[in-house]
Structure 1
């Protein structure tokens, strides 16, 4: 028995505990930030800038991102990624508690279905990634493609009567691309030093990171205007899905899947989609309670 085993927990177990604690902290930070944003989702951008508590929400989002990066030093991505669904687990009951009510059956069913489906996808659809970096062509192409796709989805969400989930999709994609660019910059600076920050591609990446972070925050902010749960679930699904596509298409990663795993992944995706549908129904029921609770009208003939 070595000294580490005699004196306390082995290093691997200690790292695992630290990773889990950090993931819980990340989920709490993101959930509280989302709840704050949802309360002010009806405001315009100029109005948002004058609400001090929203700056606190941005700070919580930044803290969550920093803790997420830190957690990857203590635990594998296969563990960290599924624990990301804790945000939804915390946000749904927290939103209900802030409104001084209990979570509805639709909310609980949707939350559980989404969490199980997304966790299953994260565990099954894994990539053999090695913290690669985007090449010059891939980086420019990713930035241009993101601008186009996020703009299209964002505009779809701004149409009169359009679903807010369009903006949730756009926000999730922007957050994911921002993370991919951050990884590239961290690895690049680690390999080449601070001088690499002055390279034109590095400057482009830094500008893109700042822009996408702001755009993603504003899009998710708007997506909460009709309710928190469904848009937050969509963002939690789109973010890792986009990261997987980036890894496979641009970083030459391969999906570690068999035919059975693909089948299970499809089942998990359907379960997650069902969960989002339930959360959307819960949102609509909360917005129109009279339609759900009003008794059926008797006809004149029935007397």
Structure 2
């Protein structure tokens, strides 16, 4: 184990994820409101969006390297710094100031989420398996479908909360993908597990683009930062035999961290009108202009 190297790699991974989130939000928010296929086709013609996907892949590789150099309980909490890094980067690229409320919300997430994660550390072993991976994945799929349908229903009347629902659904997909990779790493995988991971990952990307398009950067990124690791931990406990060291002190610490994190998400979800670009129709750019910007 090399804890110092793990910290450096984890910080580099967080920086990549932050840049990716900012670029995805920047590109998605510039597109007119449209259907899933139309949005994704438009984004796939933009260099900035592909740069975001490249940053995501690099961030994932650095995260894996960090896990190889240090324990999960050290590496995973560092990932929340992506939120704090994304706000100033997003302000620079989008040329919009970061409000005091947003900074306080980001601080709450950065402080609270490590408390949640360190209170429930992974203990690899032969713990009880409560349900098979495909069974848990089906439950997750139902939750994702429900959240997506609710988001579509309220998208025009309350785009911000629709974006939060979509970001949560995306995080469930990403957490399921992480759990699928871990199942393969533990040699507990199967063709079904591989198929679940291959479906969940691109679905999460699509849902995240719509979340960034409707809800800005702060709230969707905060929700994903919270729900992604929690989903992975939950699936690990339910279907991969991972165990939780749940002493009363740890549980209390985790509940406190969760409350602080939720408060941060609420603060990030409350934007002043001048920052809200989701209300009202977006200008529809001509294909020539879109190509020139790409």
TM range (shorter): 0.7 to 0.9
Contact 2:20 2:52 in 1 (8 A): yes
- Structure 2 alignment gaps of length 5 or more: 32-38, 278-294
Q: Is 2:54 the counterpart of 1:59?
A: yes
Q: Where do 1:14-53 residues align within 5 Å?
A: 15-42=2-29, 43=31, 44-53=39-48
1-side partners of 2:241 and 2:232: how far apart?
13
1:152 to 141, 146, 157: 146
2-side partners of 1:155 and 1:185: how far apart?
31
2-side partners of 1:285 and 1:127: how far apart?
43
Please report how far the alpha carbon of residue 29 of structure 1 lies from its aligned counterpart in structure 2 after TM superposition.
Answer: 0.9
1-side partners of 2:125 and 2:52: how far apart?
32
Q: Where do 1:1-303 residues align within 5 Å?
A: 12=1, 15-42=2-29, 43=31, 44-130=39-125, 138-159=132-153, 160=155, 161-162=157-158, 163=161, 164-188=163-187, 202-225=190-213, 226-282=215-271, 286-287=275-276
Q: Which residue of 1 aligns with 2:289?
A: none
Length, aligned pairs only: 263
Contact 1:129 1:247 in 2 (8 A): no
- The 3 A distance-change label for structure 1 pair 36 and 131 is farther
Which runs of at least 4 in structure 1 moved beyond 6 Å after TM superposition? Answer: none
Partner secondary structure for residue 53 of structure 2: helix
Please report how far the alpha carbon of residue 96 of structure 1 lies from its aligned counterpart in structure 2 after TM superposition.
Answer: 1.6
Larger Rg: 1
2-side partners of 1:156 and 1:72: how far apart?
36
Please report how far the alpha carbon of residue 238 of structure 1 lies from its aligned counterpart in structure 2 after TM superposition.
Answer: 0.3
2-side partners of 1:66 and 1:272: how far apart?
26
- Structure 1 alignment gaps of length 5 or more: 1-11, 190-200, 289-303
Give a deviation string over 1:59-100, Cα, whole Å, max 9, x none: 211221122112111000010111010110100111122233
TM-score, normalised via structure 2 length: 0.82
2-side partners of 1:180 and 1:35: how far apart?
25
Contact 2:27 2:48 in 1 (8 A): no
2-side partners of 1:257 and 1:165: how far apart?
29
1-side partners of 2:101 and 2:126: how far apart?
39
Q: Which residue of 2 aligns with 1:9?
A: none
1-side partners of 2:195 and 2:47: how far apart?
25
RMSD: 2.3
1-side partners of 2:261 and 2:274: how far apart?
20
2-side partners of 1:93 and 1:35: how far apart?
10
